[in-house]
Structure 1
């Protein structure tokens, strides 16, 4: 999950500025500044003296500017002139950031959002952590969430030309990309499916997966959104059909698991699957054209952890994080349900842009394919769907709590749904099982958890520390990394460039000279609180400046990527600037981070670490608390999500002490 909100602007969409191609010299100077902390650290560990190392990189940058770099810059400017929207989005970003990746989408690319519980649902239902089978409350909440989600789609579309502010146009354009969108696997490079034709009936339907079967369920009739009670009746009839199939001994093919596989493997299997029958083509087309997905899981996932997983306290003795607490276990179990578990991986279609997930306890969330839009957009959709709890007055009956109730059997006959069947052969059946087994390894290696830090939030940071909350949190992550690794790393934070026409994202390079100096001071027991507070302020100022530059088209990483891609190695074009080990290290984002929103309606969020020995961290900063979704890999001996949660907690505690003179700064490892 990798994005952060920007500042809203006014103006019309047609007058939005194009994403600029930054001046080459300014990008090179900013790049040289960004690698200084790496060179300082090399010198501190006995490597090349800092000024010698920096002089060498400056020489390479100057040579690049005088030579092939200027040629590449001219190519980029020419490309921008012939691009309808901007040089980045029209030519590079989708492919390089997403479509050319061959890794499976599950954990590695798909984001996940964990919704707060609906207060209208009986607590015993939500607490039914051992529940299995589809439940009435699960279906009711699913109907409500789908209805609210599609209601929001209609509301945004209906604004039309009435909101021509930059924010309004940006929102309308991006919300549209959440619906009727699907990624298609292709060898070497995937594609996004083209917009479906209006004649396709599936464009007015959602795709429902239940017990691994696929169904097409009507959501609109004559362009009018169905009443939520009618949508519930459709879902109820679908569940009844799936239950009857199970009772007859039928077993669904595990086609959904194929979409969790490595992308070239999935491309080959999809090609084979579509060649088996015309029915398979129609089924896949319906999935691609459909509005969104809905997964009704038949098991409520639960967790158990041994007390010996509790990590040691790294800093202050007041660390409040306990991964074995029952509340934490339930929260993480809910998180894993939405991310995907080994039992529900076949009950998904990971290529869809947006899928709502509800389990038997009526816990819910959403996951989706990342390429169509950045993470802020689905979070806006998700918040709208849950800001209002279920209105029981919109339903005609009171729900039973018994899973085996006749509520499903007594469902009113409905013509608003149909089966989406697959024809399989021995080859595909084996591939489904093999894909599920491979996905199981990925999921079991995902060390994923949510930390709710409740000691303070953005109000304290702004009023007492008098610092920018996002930059403050980023420094806490820098300190937490150093405390757990004894070294520094390149850190990626995303910001939106939405002030530009078809703007997407840019990188904020969090690891700076100023952040390095502050972390080292915090690790030195001789440092006073006032010294550390001064250095923290400098790190915050530096980070805020980088954020402003990145959001206003003056970042360096997208520009450097464009220049590098326009080199022609086959014609002997190369640059020591890009082959330099320091350049590679400065773009190896072991710490991949993003802030999202206050997140009061989300229990947690998450996305996968980019590197096996790194972390993927999404945070929700509210007035009185900060939630961190943290993912790493069990296979790496260098990472531990529980350890990092403790490190973040301790770092935030110690940062608060800097502003409380009556407390003596704690000793550090």
Structure 2
């Protein structure tokens, strides 16, 4: 009899497969059908003629160059330590080759719920004391959040949570390791990531702290290699704040080197090179920034929307649309009057705490996808501040506390000028960003699952399809993120939400002659199709990463009409870029930027009774409006609700 493997035996994740060539090409053809139907409906080429043309392209590619590229892809996979995609070109193509600023365009942002342990007067902007705009409760909450993040990391390393005998444990350990002690590094044409420091590296024991645009490093590990307690973290952060106050009282002002990290990547590369040429001290600072565990920004204000106004020295009512929107805007890009200050956009994880203790996080996207830092953040926020963990607020002076240091850049007039112009470019990006929220609370995933008996994510995706069509009068290729976390070093795959079935559902919803029964049947079919596509993408049988891999295997001079066909590009022009994150019980909102100037970036948190949407578009484009789409999404969700009977609406 064969011995049973021990339950403590390490579990391994399978390699990401190279999908079957024929299956990918056939799925690709199916994904083109709604575009062909649209062309036919608008007086273009008949669907059958268009389809037959693409069949010829696919068959020719499969018989010839496609087979060769598939063989090359298998050979690449055999020589890759983890998988053919992540080891070779995904990070470059998805992130690092882009020259656009990370601000809005690439970084994700996330706003936390307020901590119930903090007095209401503080939340409302009436703190009892402030030093240079930094408040005692702000420092306390920052220390608590930092300690919770460190506790999460420590427990994961010890396998107290998600042990390595589970697939979830392996995935979390491997992916979470990519957000700590690392940073994106600007380089000409293609960025890279800083190398991970050795375990004995002193900089890997530090937290990067930004206050009033000054940089500091705070040691968060004691002499016994244990993370510091929350009260000791508070003492050290308080010492940093005291040092900042002393500098401000002496008339000093920091040159905001941080804003350079929000600039065009090639411009940032040039400016960083110049900075490093000025002094070895700058090399040491950059090394500390790269190797520091993560970053903390203490903002010396609480941001309110310019049109919202502030009365009686109080902020707008907490958890109202203006207040949450202002919070998200500040997390995303800082104060609108001086955007990109007090941030280092190249770090994968930065906690941001405002003077009234509002907190959130922002992150550079390339090391791992936003779900991973959101899991870390959720652990940090879920437990309220424990008063027993702290004594009285520490009234310290800088020299009374050890374990922190200034990181003062050596700058010249060129750097100062570049900071001014970089801020101007950042301001233009921020002013064009139409970033808003929708808290849809008429129903949530409980009703969708239990009454409608449909997949919540697929249901929400159909609502987005309907909302887009109603606001634009046409359809578009739609990107939804699927995680391939079942596989070693798996990242993401595309779910192509725009399908023949989603198109049929939307057209029925806008057709006044269509019956409720027909619409409901079409919704069920569209949801099932989307659910199947989700399953395929998550299990390594999606098509877009494979198509990219095949393209990457083409040698210089090789070409094929399949990839030059306008339908190929059109089917990957994701003007509707979407991603679901989690139930979001600890988060007030989230967001990321639109992929196209005339499109939307939509992140959503699907809770049991509330669905929170973060929507980003561009003010400058006449066909986009976050307000308009927000209303259309709510309208679509209510109309879909009514398909299950008017009586269901009695409680609303």
TM-score range, shorter chain: over 0.9
Aligned to 2:427: 440
Distance 1:38 1:592 in 2: 17
Pick one of 583, 588, 594 that aligns with 1:598: 583
For the structure 1 residues 529 and 324, does the alpha-carbon distance in structure 2 shift closer, same or farther, using more than 3 Å as the test?
farther
Deviation at 1:15, TM superposition (A): 3.6
Describe the SS at the equivalent of 2:400: coil
Task: Tell me the residue number matched to 2:375.
Answer: 380
Give the CA deviation at 1:528. 1.0
User: How far off its partner does 1:27 sit?
Assistant: 0.4
Alignment correspondent of 2:244: 242
1:651 aligns with 2:641: no
Match of 1:366 among 358, 361, 364: 361
> What corresponds to 2:168 in structure 1?
167
Q: Distance in 2 between matches of 1:462 and 1:305?
A: 40
Q: Provide Cα deviations, 1:180-232, integer angstroms capped at 9, x if missing partner.
A: 01111110111111111334321111010000000001111131111111110
Question: Which whole-Å deviations, capped at 9, do the CAs of 1:291-330 have from their partners, x for residues lacking one?
Answer: 01000011211015489xxxxxxxxxxxxxxx99991100
CA contact (8 A) 2:156 2:173 kept: yes
1:196-211 correspondence to structure 2 within 5 Å: 196-211=197-212
Structure 1: gaps (5+ residues): 1-9, 308-322, 400-406, 665-669
Q: Deviations over 1:403-439 (max 9, x none)?
A: xxxx656578111100001010111111111111111
Closer, same or farther: CA 325–52 of 1 in aligned 2, 3 Å: farther
Alignment partners' CA distance in 2, 1:582 and 1:620:
32
Question: Which residue is 1:291 aligned to?
Answer: 293
Residue 464 of structure 2 is matched in structure 1 by: 477
**Partners in 2 of 1:324 and 1:630 — Cα distance?**
22
Tell me if the contact between 2:339 and 2:426 (Cα under 8 Å) persists in the aligned partners.
Answer: no
For residue 119 of structure 1, give the secondary structure of its aligned residue in structure 2. Answer: coil
Distance in 2, matches of 1:111 and 1:531, equals 39
Q: In structure 2, which of residues 502, 527, 531 is the aligned counterpart of residue 540 of structure 1?
A: 527
Q: Are 1:87 and 2:84 counterparts?
A: yes
Task: Confirm whether residue 328 of structure 1 aligns to residue 294 of structure 2.
Answer: no
Superposition deviation, residue 363 in structure 1 = 0.1
* Matched residue, 2:312: none
User: What aligned pairs does 1:302-451 form with structure 2 within 5 A after superposition?
Assistant: 302-305=304-307, 327-341=320-334, 342=336, 343-397=338-392, 399=393, 413-451=400-438
1:440-589 alignment, distance < 5 Å: 440-568=427-555, 570-571=556-557, 573-589=558-574
Write the distance in 1 (CA, Å) between the matches of 2:246 and 2:237. Answer: 14
CA distance in 1, matches of 2:612, 2:348: 24
Asked if structure 2 preserves the Cα contact closer than 8 Å seen for 1:298 and 1:360, the reply is yes
Tell me, what secondary structure is at the counterpart of 1:493?
Answer: strand
Q: Which moved more, 1:192-201 or 1:363-372?
A: 192-201
Distance between the aligned counterparts of 1:634 and 1:267, measured in 2?
A: 29
> Normalising by structure 2, what TM-score?
0.94
Residue equivalent to 1:50: 47
Q: Partners in 1 of 2:489 and 2:282 — Cα distance? A: 35
Superposition map of 1:618-629 within 5 A: 618-629=603-614
Query: Which residue number corresponds to residue 317 of structure 1?
Result: none
The structure-2 alpha-carbon separation of the partners of 1:586 and 1:163, relative to structure 1 and needing over 3 Å to count, comes to: same
- Between stretches 437-446 and 126-135, larger displacement belongs to 126-135
Q: How does 1:108-119 map to 2 (within 5 A)?
A: 108-119=105-116
| Cα distance in 1 between the residues matched to 2:488 and 2:439 | 36
The offset of 1:456, in angstroms, is 0.3
Which residue is 2:59 aligned to? 62
Contact 2:13/2:167 (8 A) holds in 1: yes
Greater relative CO, 1 or 2 (CA 8 Å, sep 6+)? 1
Residues 233 and 412 of structure 1 are in contact (CA less than 8 Å); yes or no, is this contact kept in structure 2?
no
Distance 1:553 1:227 in 2: 43
Q: What SS does structure 1 have at the residue aligned with 2:347?
A: coil
Deviation of the 1:13 alpha carbon: 6.4
* SS of match in other structure, 1:347: coil
Counterpart of 1:18 (choices 3, 15, 24) is 15
Q: Which moved more, 1:158-167 or 1:418-427?
A: 158-167
User: How many residues are paired up?
Assistant: 630
Cα distance, 1:83–1:258 mapped onto 2, change above 3 Å = same
Partner in structure 2 of residue 7 of structure 1: none
* Aligned counterparts of 2:95 and 2:318: Cα–Cα separation in 1: 37
Whole-Å separation in 2 of the counterparts to 1:408 and 1:182: 34
1:172 to partner: Cα distance: 1.2
RMSD: 2.0
Equivalent position SS for 1:43:
helix
Find the aligned partners of 1:429 and 1:581 in 2 and give their Cα distance: 46
Kept after mapping to 2: 8 A contact 1:12/1:165: no
Distance in 2 of aligned mates of 1:183 and 1:35:
36
Q: What is the rounded CA distance, in whole Å, between the counterparts of 2:113 and 2:317 in structure 1?
A: 21
TM-score, scaled to structure 1 = 0.91
C-alpha displacement of 1:16: 2.1
Contact 1:529 1:661 in 2 (8 A): no
Instruction: Please give the alpha-carbon distance, in whole angstroms, between the structure 2 residues aligned to 1:445 and 1:197.
Output: 42
Question: Do 2:235 and 2:396's aligned partners in 1 also have CA atoms closer than 8 Å?
Answer: no
| 3-state SS of 2:533 partner | helix
- Give me the whole-angstrom Cα distance separating, in 1, the residues matched to 2:359 and 2:647: 45
Q: Is the contact between residue 208 and residue 215 of structure 1 (CA under 8 Å) also seen in structure 2?
A: yes
- Give, in angstroms, the shift of residue 552 of structure 1: 0.6
- Residue 35 and residue 137 in structure 1: after superposition, are their counterparts in 2 closer, same or farther (change >3 A)? same
3-state SS of 1:380 partner: helix
The alignment status of 1:135 with 2:140, answered yes or no, reads: no
